Structure 1
Amino acid sequence: MSARRGLLILFARAPRLGTVKRRLAREAGDLAALRFHRAMLREMARRLGRDRRWRTVLAVTPDRARFPSPLPRVPQGRGDLGGRMARALARDRRRAVLVGSDIPGIRAADIAAAFCALDGRADAVFGPAEDGGYWLVGLGPRRPAAPFRGVRWSGPHALADTLRNCRGRRVAFVRRLRDVDDAADLMAWRAAAGSAGC
């Protein structure tokens, strides 16, 4: 990795009952969704936020929300998901990596691999999700002009749509992971955590 540390952005909504993980909440209830969200934020801040190989910020919405985290906070600002992600990634035009807050399997080695790809030949790097989306996106200095234009979020086309916006750029991938969007994902995560003795 280069001497200048890249920027890791943990992208999250304030942990408030009835406002987080709405698809999960519809099936598992608001309280279960809130508990999962809080647990993931704590774990990701602990697991990734202390790593000195990169700088870490928490990009939050709503912008003025109180957040139980020791990480520096920056506002996501207004706009749709793509606009807010693009704004967050523009905080470091050399190397920035953004991850969601619902990825139980994420490890520091995944973030290191993404920065390594951007230090190498990649202009963009993605962590594919099992559902056709992605749990990580990173951009280097030769980033696409509008990487998130026309992306169909929360469905099986999100990665394909974003890759279409990256034509003419060198793209790399880190490992595929499962994000937790609904009750089936939550049960699968709990089963895997239980079998691992967590």
Structure 2
Amino acid sequence: MSAAQIVVIAKEPVAGRVKTRLTPPFTPAQAAHLASAALRDTLHAVAATRVHRRVLALEGLPGTWLPDGFTVIPQRGDGLDQRLAAAFHDAHRLYRLPVVLIGMDTPQVTPDLLDTAVTLLATHDAVYGPASDGGFWLLGLRHPDPSLLLGVAMSRPTTGTTQLRRLRETGLDVARMPELDDVDTAADAFRVAARAPGSRFAEALAAVGAGVSR
């Protein structure tokens, strides 16, 4: 078991509050159903990873989708950079372990990928997983420092390169993970489901996606 913790930063999957870029073509209820499936895939992948601690930094309330073995902490901050920085800080304050943080947007993530990230963090200062939309799906820090994230403009095509440059300019030795697709749009959803056909997300998309344009 690796001496590290994995933090998932997520929103409670409530209709009208999650995956709003999926509406249209999906309804708010369908988008929330897809978000719930993506979150469950992510949490179960984390649950199967060999780490000491598992943390959920949550906006909202936990539900039946949360497996056993997670410590739930509230999100803090206004912008995403603040909430990410706070999640790193709060998890590390709770458990003095290196932190690998992921979101709920990559339901194709596997325990093997997460185990690789944790292993890399044992020999590197940071681990970075780029997303195809220009952001990042994973960030690991052996010694979490909020200043590494605060002020990075999020949800832009340049977010990932800006964050990676910030890490390297600070002098950190950064290991890279494979690129994954975030689920932001309907096209993303169908692409991710095709690459993870046995996932809860793919099953949920099959249930609600009939007649939706790809």
Name the TM-score, length of structure 1 as normaliser.
0.86
- Runs of 5+ unmatched residues, structure 2: 204-214
State the distance in 1 between where 2:108 and 2:197 align: 13
Give the corresponding residue for 1:147: 148
State the distance in 2 between where 1:193 and 1:145 align: 33
Give the corresponding residue for 2:207: none
Residues 12 and 59 in structure 1, CA contact (< 8 A), matched pair in contact too: yes
Aligned identity (percent) is 33
**Superposition misfits of 4+ residues, deviation over 4 angstroms:** 193-198
State the distance in 2 between where 1:102 and 1:192 align: 14
The answer to whether 1:119 aligns with 2:122 is yes
1:175-190 pair list within 5 angstroms: 175-190=178-193
Aligned CA-pair RMSD: 2.3
Q: Secondary structure, in 3 states, of the residue corresponding to 1:82?
A: helix
Give the corresponding residue for 1:67: 63
Give the corresponding residue for 1:42: 40
Q: Sort the Cα spacing of 1:52 and 1:193 in 2 relative to 1 into closer, same or farther, 3 A.
A: closer
Residues 11 and 99 in structure 1, CA contact (< 8 A), matched pair in contact too: yes
Residues 25 and 31 in structure 1, CA contact (< 8 A), matched pair in contact too: no
Give the corresponding residue for 2:140: 138
Q: Deviations over 1:11-57 (max 9, x none)?
A: 10011110001222344331221111111122222222243433111
Q: Count matched residues.
A: 192
Residues 6 and 51 in structure 2, CA contact (< 8 A), matched pair in contact too: no
- Runs of 5+ unmatched residues, structure 1: none
Name the TM-score, length of structure 2 as normaliser.
0.80
> Quick one: which amino acid aligns to residue 118 of structure 1?
L
> Quick one: which amino acid aligns to residue 73 of structure 2?
V
